[in-house]
């Protein structure tokens, strides 16, 4: 059985996790701050459960970086009640074994511990960066973010798969900005938008006079992305003759400009397509050897209809972008939220952004209602899924959730266990929600909220 160090400033959560670990046959060790956690590593620790947000000037990312810089570092699982694409990618890039959102149930903790290695190789800590445009905390998008974090610092070719409008270029950009290549160019080329007879020149460049119209030398995308990242979008539409040349560029890191001599290149390649490459290989439209050359690290982006919990956060993100571009600060009504959630989004994230931008332009007041959203009813789906207290909701519905929590706390005299029972959720989730709405250490309707753990025994 394992000795697991729990580093979390929340006493109630520490004790709850410790109790579960003991029940599962493991030995817990507790630390209330990042500094205490680092000091506790001097003993035999098999794994670390590390909170992301802690006071004292040393947060979870700082602690993770220091742990992973040590020899024979134990595997670290980062825990947070406030997951984001940025901290997920950063944690995985710095060597976290996993990145999980609180609360963590007994079953989830058991599965996690069963798959933990005894030790994982140390990794050199890299510079922090941001990926603000990659929105989504569904399970599918969390897998995407974790893969980005794991692959960012390598040189392996990445193949990004997903329907049109899912955000394949955003994933490629996130891969770039979280890599050591981020200070070098990110060059994107849409292979389907360039005529076949010009694609070779676009990618590899040409020398002056090599063909009619070549009035000057051209560098080409591979060399423009020197030491950076070259993103080849819609590579499934590339002509077969060009595919052979791309394969050579990947294998030998050499390109030959039209009319010129071979030149070494050092760009990392990320490719993307909405097409099924395996079917294209079978039909002879795509080279099998190129497919395997590209598919070193695959990243599959789920369509928006398969991650409905991301719809509202994405919509609110696009509302914020619209406001920052000079529009007014608009909000969605509950009816608008329901309509967005019921729609099947055949155009994925791109369609959602267009819908929100159109509503911002055409709606005169600061409230966007269901009738202001120009989306079709034929693509609606049922809303079977998590309850209100199990997903992140926009401000309009979040106010209702906060009110429900306040009333439950008032009715139970501030006893969190009783309030959680009334709300039909576990105590950890209730406390997470209280933190989100500033109720954990504040007041409920003018009455002081009891401190953690004092009212629940």
Ordered structural domains, the chain, with CATH: 3-115 (3.40.50.2300), 139-300 (3.40.50.300), 305-372 (1.10.8.60), 388-448 (1.10.10.60)
Measured between alpha carbons, how far is 416 from 203 in angstroms, rounded to an integer? Answer: 62
Would you place residue 379 in the very low, low, confident or very high pLDDT band (cuts 50, 70, 90)?
low
pLDDT of 131 > 70? The answer is no
Would you place residue 393 in the very low, low, confident or very high pLDDT band (cuts 50, 70, 90)?
very low
Would you place residue 391 in the very low, low, confident or very high pLDDT band (cuts 50, 70, 90)?
very low
Contacts of 265 (CB under 8 A, 6+ apart): 222, 223, 226, 249, 253, 254, 255
CA distances from 28 to 14, 116, 438 (A): 9, 15, 30
Average pLDDT, the chain: 83
Question: What confidence tens digit (pLDDT) does each residue in 222-237 have?
Answer: 999 999 999 999 999 9
* Section 233-242 average pLDDT: 94
Q: How many other CB atoms sit within 10 Å of the CB of residue 366?
A: 10
Q: What is the pLDDT of residue 399?
A: 66
Q: What is the pLDDT of residue 185?
A: 93
pTM score above 0.75: no
Measured between alpha carbons, how far is 272 from 275 in angstroms, rounded to an integer? Answer: 9
Q: What is the pLDDT of residue 203?
A: 94
Which range is least confidently modeled, 254-263, 329-338, 422-431?
A: 422-431
Q: What is the pLDDT of residue 124?
A: 31
Percent of the chain, pLDDT > 90?
41
Give the single-character DSSP code of 227: T
- The length of the chain is 457
Question: What confidence tens digit (pLDDT) does each residue in 176-210 have?
Answer: 999 999 999 999 999 998 888 889 999 999 998 88
Q: What is the pLDDT of residue 119?
A: 46
Measured between alpha carbons, how far is 148 from 151 in angstroms, rounded to an integer? Answer: 5
pLDDT of 405 > 80? The answer is yes
Coil, strand or helix at 267: coil
Q: What is the pLDDT of residue 157?
A: 96
Q: What is the pLDDT of residue 380?
A: 60
More confident of the two residues 128 and 9:
9
For residue 75, which of 85, 61, 64 has the smallest C-alpha distance?
64
Q: Please, are residues 70 and 38 in contact by the beta-carbon 8 Å criterion?
A: no
Contacts of 292 (CB under 8 A, 6+ apart): none
């Amino acid at each position: 059985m394992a000795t697991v160090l729990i580093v979390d400033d929340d006493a109630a959560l520490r004790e709850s996790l410790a109790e579960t670990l003991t029940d599962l046959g493991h030995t817990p060790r507790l630390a209330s701050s990042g500094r205490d956690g680092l000091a506790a590593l001097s003993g035999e620790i098999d794994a670390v459960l590390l909170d992301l947000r802690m006071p004292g000037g040393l947060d979870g990312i700082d602690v993770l970086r220091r742990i992973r810089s040590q020899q024979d570092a134990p595997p670290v699982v980062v825990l947070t009640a406030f997951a984001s694409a940025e901290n997920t990618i950063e944690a995985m890039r710095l060597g976290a074994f996993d990145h999980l959102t609180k609360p963590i149930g007994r079953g989830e903790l058991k599965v996690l511990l069963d798959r933990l290695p005894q030790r994982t190789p140390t990794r050199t800590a890299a510079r922090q960066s941001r990926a603000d445009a990659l929105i989504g905390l569904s399970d599918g998008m969390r897998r995407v973010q974790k893969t980005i974090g794991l692959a960012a610092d390598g040189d392996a070719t990445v193949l990004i798969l997903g329907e049109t409008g899912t955000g394949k270029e955003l994933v490629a950009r996130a891969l770039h900005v979280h890599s050591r290549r981020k200070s070098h160019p990110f060059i994107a080329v849409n292979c389907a938008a360039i005529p076949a007879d010009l694609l070779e020149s676009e990618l590899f460049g040409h020398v002056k006079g090599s063909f009619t119209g070549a009035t000057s030398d051209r560098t080409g995308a591979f060399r423009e992305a020197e030491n950076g990242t070259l993103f080849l979008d819609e590579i499934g539409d590339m002509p077969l003759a060009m595919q052979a040349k791309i394969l050579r560029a990947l294998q030998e890191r050499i390109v030959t400009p039209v009319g010129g001599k071979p030149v070494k290149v050092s760009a990392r390649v990320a490719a993307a397509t909405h097409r099924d490459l395996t079917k294209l290989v079978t039909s002879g439209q795509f080279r099998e050897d190129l497919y395997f050359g590209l598919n070193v690290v695959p990243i599959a982006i789920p369509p928006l209809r398969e991650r409905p919990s991301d719809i509202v956060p994405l919509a609110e993100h696009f509302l914020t972008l619209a406001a920052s571009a000079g529009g007014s600060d608009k909000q969605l009504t509950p009816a608008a939220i329901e309509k967005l959630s019921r729609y099947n989004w055949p155009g994925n994230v791109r369609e959602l952004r267009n819908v929100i931008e159109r509503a911002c332009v055409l709606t005169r007041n600061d409230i966007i209602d269901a009738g202001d959203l120009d989306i079709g009813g034929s693509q609606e789906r049922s809303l079977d899924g998590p309850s209100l207290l199990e997903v992140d909701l926009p401000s309009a519905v979040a106010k209702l959730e906060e009110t429900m929590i306040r009333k439950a706390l008032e009715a139970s005299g501030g006893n969190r266990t009783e309030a959680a029972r009334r709300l039909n959720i576990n105590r950890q989730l209730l406390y997470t929600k209280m933190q989100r709405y500033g109720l954990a250490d504040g007041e409920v309707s003018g009455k002081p909220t009891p401190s953690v753990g004092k009212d629940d025994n």
